[in-house]
Structure 1
Amino acid sequence: MASIAKRPNGKWRARYRDDAGKEHSRHFERKIDAQRWLDEVSASQLTGQYVDPRAGRVTFRTYGEQWRQAKPHRPTTAAGVEKALRVHAYPAIGDRPLARIRRSDVQALVTGLSKPREGFKPLSPSTIRTVYNSIRAVFAAAVEDRLIATSPCAGVGLPEVPRRRVQPLTVDQVRALADEMPDRYRALILTGAGTGLRPGELLGLEVRHVDFFKRQLRVEQQVQQTKGGEVRVCPPKTKESYRVVPLPDTVVHALVAHLQAFPAEPDDFLFRGPDDGPVVYTRFMDGAFRPARKRLELAATGLHALRHTYASLLIAAGESVKVVSERLGHANAAMTLNVYSHLFPDSEDRTRKAIDGAFAEGGDGARADSERTAETR
């Protein structure tokens, strides 16, 4: 219910009640302005875009913490979001009401991240985008909760992220790296390069996930490292990450030898650390992978390089982008092309051959051209 009444001081008071029964009012010099305000409120209520004017008074920090703690993030994602908000967002806009933060404020925050600050070096473009994504998620949730009408993140300019081409290891480098590793990790290297699993998926493999008869392995889980230096078993990254990967003979033989040397039960992790527990990523990298890489004088690279090697071998063998995408567990083929497009063979020669073949002697195009030539003689 809405109404307009003239006050003793000559001003016009416009009043309405929201869906919760709370009364809101504003005073105007002119009746037409009061009526216009009520019309705008009524329209927003009818279209489902109404926002309580008082709701946006909650600060970005208060709402951001409520959102963050209620969001079911994975451990690594949760840690990254918490750091992005605490270190970069809250000092700039944390104590300001949501409704008072403008696009220019968010733009200034983002732009400032690329410049030196007290106690901080300039952030890389990719890190800036990560911080921005956390800020944008908070505002998006505030819009959904009807605390603000629109997000101030709309139209914010972000720095370009230089596109870096992945550099897969060669087969010889993979073999050398496997031979340089401690015995318990040799099969891990060959399995990573022979299946293309993500590091978390590779370290999360259990014996039961390998079917030696069908020569397949199933990706059903992954492990993530916790703050305490332990690991947590969790679902794969996306629904496309659940997949069955064919096992080449190289990997089958390596796994058979591995289980003979390090016997395990079906529900045990396939690869285990020196303490017979799960492989903790940072300990593995610091204690085994990086020292082996340095001894071989390989370029700085991580465990993910084995995944790139797998992708490059499939592409070199002529597999389609669709197959490569499915094997890697990508959400779509576009993601695969975005990462590995430079590895696909150049199509110029195939284009030339296709056109030359169509115009070759005996082709329809060649005959038509011959007939036209004869008519002009």
Structure 2
Amino acid sequence: MLDTLPTSEKPAIGTTRQGLRQRGVLGLSADDIDFEKEVVHVRRQVKMVRAKLCFALPKGRKVRDVPLPSSVARAIRQHVEQFAPVPVTLPWDDPPPAETPVEAKHRRPRTYSLLVTGRERKAINRNYFNSYVWKPALATAGVIAPLEEGSADGARVWEPSREHGFHALRHFYASEELEAGESIVSLARRLGHSDPGFTLRKYSHFLPRAGARGSAAIDAIFA
């Protein structure tokens, strides 16, 4: 499905190989990528508050580092060579004008050179991304039906695709990491979960072959 995306949007998909949430992917800056140490610093997200965009800490205020796979590093390098990071300035945490000096200090605009921006070289609204990038890619790949006339007034609507939403890529990352034998504690840290038990409860059903590994281990001991 990656091949169906506009070139400028591919890193938004590629970085989910690290389990980032969509808003965290859209908030990644060039300075967050450490190619030498092979890590990505998850420091912020682009979120919407009362129909306006702003920067904020990641969900749950979980600032963290996640490994940078070589395949993702290559995709990011190629993207940066073709599309230079764009400096974007947004308020911090809450867009409306501050009413007190303390609020003004906290909400002061901050500038980051984002890896992925829209046509107007601004931060991407995730609703725009879902409607004009993600769902068209799903349709082109044959995952959902193409856009059709959906009502008597001629409105064009996409087939509902909750189970195929952008967040499904995060689920895929988690399930593959667990299937490969990654520690649930390490995975929880990478996903930004405060409780590894939550991570296990949420993703254990993605492990249909997990029991077979345990049996194989016992067989190997007594063989």
Please indicate the TM-score interval, normalised by the length of the shorter structure: 0.7 to 0.9
Q: Are 1:196 and 1:311, in contact at CA under 8 Å, matched by a contact in 2? A: yes
CA contact (8 A) 2:86 2:121 kept: no
Please provide the CA RMSD for this pair: 2.1
Letter in 1 for 2:85: A
- Structure 2 counterpart of 1:251, which letter? V
Match for residue 15 of structure 2 among 181, 185, 191: 191
Counterpart residue identity of residue 310, structure 1: Y
Does structure 2 retain, via aligned residues, the 8 Å contact 1:218–1:243? Answer: yes
Cα pair distance change 1:270/1:350, threshold 3 Å: same
- Compute the displacement of 1:265 (Å): 5.7
Q: Which residue of the partner structure matches residue 38 of structure 2?
A: 215
Tell me which residue corresponds to 2:193.
330
SS of the counterpart of 2:59? coil
Specify whether residues 354 and 262 from structure 1 end up closer, same or farther in structure 2 by C-alpha distance, changes over 3 A only: same
TM-score (norm 2): 0.74
**Distance 1:292-1:355 versus aligned 2 partners, 3 A rule:** closer
Q: What SS does structure 2 have at the residue aligned with 1:191? A: helix
Aligned to 2:25: 202
Partner of 1:182: 6
Alignment of 1:1-377 (within 5 A): 177-192=1-16, 194-228=17-51, 230-239=52-61, 241-264=62-85, 267-298=112-143, 300=161, 301-344=164-207, 345-347=209-211, 350-351=214-215, 354=218, 357=221, 360=222
For the residue of structure 2 that corresponds to 1:347, the secondary structure is helix
2:113 partner SS: coil
CA contact (8 A) 2:46 2:123 kept: no
Instruction: Determine the C-alpha separation between the residues in 2 that align with 1:324 and 1:342.
Output: 15
Aligned partners of 1:316 and 1:352: how far apart in 2?
14
Identify the range of structure 1 (347-356 vs 252-261) with the bigger mean alpha-carbon deviation.
347-356
Identity of aligned residues (%): 31
CA distance in 2, matches of 1:314, 1:291: 28
CA distance in 1, matches of 2:44, 2:217: 46
Report the CA distance between 1:347 and its aligned residue: 2.7
* Residues 182 and 265 of structure 1, relative CA distance in 2, 3 Å threshold: closer
| Cα distance between partner residues in 2 of 1:355 and 1:256 | 45
Aligned equivalents of 1:312, 1:197: Cα separation in 2: 14
Pairwise CA distance, 1:328:
0.9
Could you say which structure has the higher helix fraction? 1
SS in 1 for 2:130: helix
Q: How big is each residue's C-alpha offset from its partner over 1:277-326, in whole Å with a ceiling of 9 and x where there is no partner?
A: 00110111111110110121215211111111211221121112112111
Distance 1:327 1:349, change over 3 A: closer
Larger RCO, structure (CA 8 Å, separation 6 or more): 2
Q: Match for residue 101 of structure 2?
A: none
Cα distance in 2 for partners of 1:353, 1:313 equals 20
Partner of 2:91: none
What secondary structure does 2:210 align onto?
Answer: coil
Check the 8 A contact 2:86/2:117 in 1, yes or no. no
CA 1:352–1:242: 2 relative to 1, 3 Å: same
Residue type matched to 1:253 in 2? R
Question: Could you tell me how far 1:356 is from its partner in structure 2?
Answer: 8.8
Q: Which amino acid aligns with 2:185?
A: K
Tell me what 1:158 maps to: none
- The number of residue pairs the alignment matches comes to 180
**Larger Rg over CA atoms:** 1
Cα distance in 1 between the residues matched to 2:219 and 2:8: 54
Conserved? CA contact 2:33–2:39, under 8 Å? yes
Q: Following TM superposition, by how much is the alpha carbon of 1:349 offset from its aligned partner in structure 2, in angstroms? A: 5.8
Q: 1:349 to 1:281 in 2, by over 3 A?
A: closer
Separation of aligned partners in 2, 1:293 and 1:235: 29
Secondary structure of the 2:188 match is helix
Question: What letter corresponds to residue 347 of structure 1 in structure 2?
Answer: G
Unmatched 5+ stretches in structure 1: 1-176, 362-377
